[in-house]
Amino acid sequence: MSLVERDLKVIWHPYTQMKTALPPIPIVKGEGACLFDGEGKKYIDAVSSWWVNIHGHSHPYIAQKVAEQLSKLEHVIFAGFTHEGAVELAERLLAILPGNQQKAFYSDNGSTAVEVAVKMCLQYWYNQGKSRTKILALKNAYHGDTFGAMAVSGRSAFTTPFDSMLFEVEFIDLPTIDNIENLKSQISNLKSQLACFIFEPLIQGSGGMLMYEAEYLNELMLHCHNEGVLLIADEVFTGFGRTGKPFACDHVTEQPDIMCFSKGLTGGTMALGLTTCTQQIFDAFLSDDRLKTLFHGHSFTANPIACSAALASLDLFLDPSTSANLKRIEAAHQQFALKVKHHPKLKTIRQTGTILAMEWQTGTDTSYFSSLRDKLYQYFLDAGIILRPLGNVIYILPPYCITNEELNYIYSKIEHALEEI
């Protein structure tokens, strides 16, 4: 029995429950920006394997550090104990995050990092005897698939079976020059009820790579703070260079109270979540009253192996060559965007940092389930490129090690698709 046949007998893959779904592709090796299947076919991983891989697959430096850690300590309970990797990672990350971030709380993926942040905000007010229980979020947001993360995400086909069980959230439009004053008025009207405002800074990834300007985000953040509303920046996707700067919040001057990280945190090696916060947030839980404790923890919180991968990834991220690669990819995207921006099949083209998104003209068929999606996905797979469209939106989000030749090959195949599909 082949690997695929064995897989189909026992594994429930995400997003592939339709009877017409194609069988999974067995991947046996990764190197640089590429993956290789069992028959030796090469695929350029142009979406960084769901946005997590930032330095390339099977990076030897990360592999070395993980192997070294495995021979020393694989795991230890993180309640009443600690270890060097967790402390060093927190110290090094806090040193490059906005200066108000003072404490780090570990979990094990992006959704749980968001769950922790939301619970921090709600209990922050509870611990002070104040009833501020409403949460403000952006329409079309995506913050994860666990219940709390779903609740603060935009309502869609993905949440419909659970909508009646999700807690109430106030959703607002992305801030623009045309609506910023109205949004601020909405917040002022709700301020005594709002616990926090959670947002994906600059780019809503799963919403379709929707991009908005730092100027108006900053104005909205400042207004929230003026009204006493806490701010959660979900940098699970945007963190670690995706927007051209180390973190998306580096594009604004007002800073969040809480930040969430995962995906690129370990360079795509393994799962790890992190939620950072200000001293003010932490102090609201510091008490002799045990009932003010943040009762949240995971069996694999601050796993030493994951921390070693994250530390190795951070070494690579802070190397000057990575900064040069970010600029190189951004410049290449900009040049290609100019080349195809007036193509009649493209509705819009959006670009921020290393992220390039192209929205295809499909009339009214613009949802995540657009019929164009499967055609494009298979077209690029046949060409040896992993581009996973969000409905009618094709996006390129590569590992930073991708070569100019690989980028140019992707661009050329997109041009061919524009003519052939």
Give the Cα separation of 139 and 137 in Å (integer). 7
Give the Cα separation of 383 and 146 in Å (integer). 35
Q: If you write DSSP's letter for every residue of 135-179 in order, what string do you get?
A: EEEETT----SSHHHHHTSPPSTTTGGGGGGSPPEEEEPPP-TTT
The DSSP symbol for 296 reads: -
Q: Are 398 and 48 in contact (CB under 8 A)?
A: yes
The β-bridge partners of 107 are 273
Give the Cα separation of 48 and 276 in Å (integer). 25
Give the Cα separation of 184 and 175 in Å (integer). 10
Query: Which residue in the list 45, 108, 234, 257 is annotated as catalytic?
Result: 234
212 tagged catalytic: no
Give the Cα separation of 229 and 226 in Å (integer). 8
Query: Which residue in the list 263, 395, 400, 411 is annotated as catalytic?
Result: 263
Give the Cα separation of 85 and 341 in Å (integer). 46
CA angle, 292 as apex, 286 and 293 as ends, to 5°?
75
Collapsing DSSP states into helix, strand and coil, what is residue 250? Answer: helix
Give the Cα separation of 173 and 183 in Å (integer). 8
The β-bridge partners of 360 are 346
142 tagged catalytic: yes
Quickly count: other Cβ atoms within 10 Å of residue 283's Cβ. 13
Tokens of residue 131, six digits? 């009833």
Query: Which residue in the list 124, 142, 216, 411 is annotated as catalytic?
Result: 142
263 tagged catalytic: yes
Q: Where are the alpha helices (DSSP H) in 228-370?
A: 279-283, 304-317, 320-340
Catalytic residues: 15, 142, 234, 263
